[in-house]
Amino acid sequence: MNVLGIIYTINAFLPLIRKGTVKKVLTLSSGQGDLDFALKVGIANAGPYSVSKAAVNMVMIKYAVRFKGEGIVFLTISPGWVNTLQGPRESRLPLSTTAQLTGCAGR
């Protein structure tokens, strides 16, 4: 889903993106999909998730190269640590900080 869902969605919206004035496509990735980061930090868990996020990064690079001449920009960002129950308790941001960051994203 992380990979094919993105490919199908981009392909479905590509005709509209080509006709539009804002030619940008953004996807969310993860530090777990970054080869250098995962090796440096020593992330040993979440193998399938990490592999799918690394694939998403490559998919976006291929789209960026393919459509650069048409002025379409493809971006992949990693939001950093997100306050969820999946991570270690000591690494979680307080909800007040999360709310502040969410407010900044809307600006």
The pTM of this model reads 0.73
Annotated active-site positions, please?
Answer: 30, 49, 53
Separation between Cα atoms, residue 80 and residue 31, nearest integer Å:
7
Query: For every one of its 107 residues, what pLDDT tens digit does the chain have, with 9 covering 90 and above?
Result: 779 999 999 999 999 999 999 999 999 888 888 888 888 877 777 788 889 999 999 999 999 999 999 999 999 988 776 666 665 555 555 555 545 544 444 44
Residue 104: strand pairing partners: none
Q: Quick one: pLDDT at residue 60?
A: 96
CB 19 within 8 A of CB 36: no
